[in-house]
Each structure stands twice: as C-alpha cells, then as structure tokens.
Amino acid sequence: MRKATIVIAALLLGLALGAMPAPLRAQAGEGQERMGLRQRINDLYLLRLTRALELTEQQAARIYPLLTRAEKDKAEVQRRMGVDLRRLRAELGRTPPGEKALLELASRIRQDRRAIRQKDDDVDAALEDLMTPVQKARYLLFKVEFLRNVGENLGRARGTRAQIKRTP
C-alpha cells in the first residue's frame, strides 16, 4: 500500500477522533476505560481495514467517516442497552419482580438489539457501493477474522488480569 494512503488514513482517523463530543471524552472511571478500549479497537479496525482492503485515498476519505459515525451511534445504543440490562437484572432480583417493568425493559432491549443490527446492515449496504468486488470479498473475511481475533485477545487479557488480581 502506498505511504500516502496510510498518511491520509491516519489524518482522517485523527479528525474523526477529534470530532468526538467533549462529554464522551470527559467520562471518568470505568466508563472512560471502556470508551478508551472501544476507541482503540475502532482505531485498530480502521487501520487494518485500510490495509486488508487496500483502500484508495478516496475510498478511505468516504469510508472512515461512515464507520466512525456508525460506531458512535452503536456505542450510544449499547450504553443505553447496558443500563436497561442492569435494570432488568435488578428487577428480576426483586421478590416478586414487576411484570410491567420486565416487559417494558425486555421490549426496549429487543429494540436496541434490532437498532444495532440495522446500523450494521446500513453500513454494509453503504460500503457495497464504495468497494470493488475484490474488496467486498476481502471485507467479508476481514470482518469475521477481525472480530474473532479481538474476542480471543480480550478473552486472554481478561484471563491474565483475573490471574494477576488473584495473586497476593
């Protein structure tokens, strides 16, 4: 891949990160750590995607904002869904649980899951118009392999962290 494409990709990534709203950057504690991890994974995704698909500068300029916006939207839905999942667990822990609250929370969680899937489908449809047939095929493989690798690495990291915490 040409050096200029990597430079353009890095610049676009920097612009996308700089556009992050201040409230998201200002979160403290575990929320900030989780946001930082999510952002690092997104950065890694964009850089590896650029290499795997051999994106042109023009493609990168169109794809990066699309993916960055979609990930921000999905992160907000996932945050909201996480709150509802905690509320659902708490409600189920009550004796007796409130059926009306359970139904409402379950409905919102299902809606949020559908919204995330729809956002992924919308992104895939938009990318279809921006990629060559070879890139489309590479993209399918890339998504599966990237997500699998990230999951495996996170699992290993959690296992290592758990072992460190247990050691006196």
| Average pLDDT rounded to a whole number, residues 38-62 | 92
Number of C-beta neighbours around residue 31 at 10 A: 11
pLDDT over 90 percentage in the chain:
58
pLDDT for 38 = 80
- Write the pLDDT tens digit of every residue in 97-135: 999 999 999 999 999 999 999 999 999 999 989 999 999
Domain that holds residue 111: 3-166
User: What's the domain count of the chain?
Assistant: 1
C-alpha dist (Å) from residue 138 to 18, 91, 124: 29, 44, 13
pLDDT for 121 = 95
Q: Are 67 and 123 in contact (CB under 8 A)?
A: yes
- Write the pLDDT tens digit of every residue in 70-93: 999 999 999 999 999 999 999 999
Residue 4: pLDDT over 60? no
